[in-house]
Structure 1
């Protein structure tokens, strides 16, 4: 017999799904209905919808997903970086793909004090550090600059795949990532 998750987990699951499929401005009532919890649970666990959205981003696990993809590619830094673009091709061609949850939240939330902005930046900085470390291991002449270039490619893939379904931008970005990787000392 499986145990039903508690209200906190149900709220996170519902918010994770709905804010991705409908955007961060999805109504509280829709989240509460899908989670099958009382409004009080939202405020007890997260303080507000803003707190819930920030926690969805904090607990998303996307950075762990990037690490897992790289680890599955083995020990060679070049292969590890290119595996990211191979995985992006898989992700962006799924019918359920709606773009980057982090970029979408950053663009949609115009209140500069919204707690989600800090989570977006923390994720992007974590991904930058991960790519910088791989490029340093690869012997890249400017690991931080190269990581900046790879992040531009990743963000471009995630945006382009939404605006031109079927274009498979991860394949084009993979070829450009090879140029970045070739910039060794």
Structure 2
């Protein structure tokens, strides 16, 4: 018992350094780092809804959106965390509906969902407004708010699982987002 008590301040001190490091990296825009390290140290983050939201936003911004499921279940004590929970839920729902529509040909009618500035939300809205050109199994969307941006969307299979792929092409640069 004595050995455990002697280690406790060290463990708590390390935990605080870890949290400070995560916050610093978040403020610097190193979202992938915060998502990956936050996942490893989730027990520390889950106790504080601000830290949990920071972790979830980091995962969202680094395209690890499947990691939003657990924070969605935990968030909810404050007005801000409930708002964040709704936002994360919206993005996950839109991703899953898009995968179902593109993979299985499911028809969804009379969908009235909020929108956001997240790329999945943009593609979701353009798809259900039928504002795309389809070539083979690739859907091409033009962002009317950003004339220089094209989204190419398709399903790619890995180990028999469908992944939603969004190629964001802007001014000759391409960023690829992959969501399972």
The verdict on a shared fold, with TM-score over 0.5 as the criterion, is no
TM-score by length of 1: 0.31
| Higher share in helix | 1
| Higher share in strand | 2
TM-score by length of 2: 0.31
Whose Rg is larger? 2
Q: Which has the higher contact order (CA 8 A, sep 6+)?
A: 1
